[in-house]
């Protein structure tokens, strides 16, 4: 496994150099007022997004291939105080049942529908080294492997307020007794923030094209802005 690391670093360096060159060309075209500049900028955004998803896929693939060890996971929801309400993040608190005194590890993951049917705590299989800071892939009892986001933490995240998902996902219409005349609270659909941010990005991209005097760039920049914000939200892996 260690022999693959240099090759991966070289590949990532090559992709980064390619994106940097693309960015220089796009900025240079924009500086001289070239009509191709909006298309180049839109292409740069597309390349960055593709590179981001490819990087996450490669890291997930690498961690999922490592040998697994049994652990116990508690599923938690995380919120950062005074931040934009774009959804709660999902965390796993990992403990080793055979070592009661061992330190709990914390791994942020992308939300998966299987988590709604998973009791907490539950026995899982952890692929990777829990004693390191490298991200680990957690496999649920049904065989579902959860995509990790960010490195494995050896300490509880300081800026994130964590609580059990059962405490977060309770809604008013799930209650047995409702106050008289209280309408049931309807939750937002899972795509709410994605669509909203895509619309905001499209308006911003079109505005940039109009301000810079590039009518031909309205469509590509609007599409690039929508894709950038929507994919940025999707890559956070928040709960719907």
- Per-residue model confidence as pLDDT tens digits over 13-25: 555 555 555 555 5
Residue 153, both tokens: 């933490």
CA gap 142, 42 in Å, rounded: 41
At 123, give phi and psi (nearest 5°).
-80, 135
The answer to whether residues 104 and 73 touch, using CB atoms and an 8 Å cutoff, is no
Q: How far is CA 55 from each of CA 45, 200, 228, 237, rounded to the nearest angstrom?
A: 15, 26, 16, 15
Distance in angstroms (rounded) separating the CA atoms of residues 169 and 164: 9
Q: What is the largest CA-CA distance in the chain?
A: 66
Q: Could you read off the pLDDT tens digit of each residue along the chain, which spans 240 residues?
A: 444 455 555 555 555 555 555 555 555 555 545 556 777 777 788 888 888 898 899 999 999 999 999 999 999 999 887 677 778 899 999 998 887 778 899 999 999 999 988 998 999 999 999 989 999 999 999 899 999 999 999 999 888 889 887 654 544 444 445 555 555 555 667 778 888 889 998 998 888 778 777 777 788 888 888 988 999 899 988 887
Residues 6+ apart with CB under 8 A from 100: none
pTM of the model: 0.76
3-state helix, strand, coil in the chain (%, to 5): 45, 15, 35
State the CB neighbour count (10 A cutoff) for residue 135.
22
């Amino acid at each position: 496994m260690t022999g693959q690391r240099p090759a991966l670093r070289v590949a990532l360096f090559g992709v980064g150099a390619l994106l940097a060159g693309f960015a220089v060309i796009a900025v240079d075209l924009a500086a001289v007022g070239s009509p191709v500049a909006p298309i180049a900028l839109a292409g740069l955004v597309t390349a960055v997004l593709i590179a981001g998803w490819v990087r996450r896929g490669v890291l997930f693939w690498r961690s999922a291939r490592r040998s697994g060890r049994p652990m116990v996971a508690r599923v938690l929801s995380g919120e950062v105080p005074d931040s934009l309400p774009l959804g709660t993040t999902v965390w796993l608190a990992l403990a080793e049942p055979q070592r009661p005194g061992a330190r709990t590890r914390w791994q942020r993951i992308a939300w998966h529908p299987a988590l709604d049917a998973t009791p907490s705590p539950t026995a899982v299989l952890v692929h990777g080294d829990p004693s390191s800071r490298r991200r680990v892939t957690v496999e649920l009892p049904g065989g579902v492997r959860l995509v990790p986001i960010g490195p494995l933490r050896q300490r509880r995240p300081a800026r994130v307020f964590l609580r059990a998902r059962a405490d977060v996902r309770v809604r008013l219409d799930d209650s047995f007794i409702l106050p008289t005349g209280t309408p049931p609270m309807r939750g937002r659909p899972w795509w709410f923030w994605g669509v909203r941010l895509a619309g905001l990005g499209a308006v911003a991209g079109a505005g940039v094209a109009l301000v810079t005097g590039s009518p031909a760039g309205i469509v590509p920049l609007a599409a690039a802005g929508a894709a950038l914000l929507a994919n940025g939200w999707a890559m956070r892996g928040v709960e719907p």
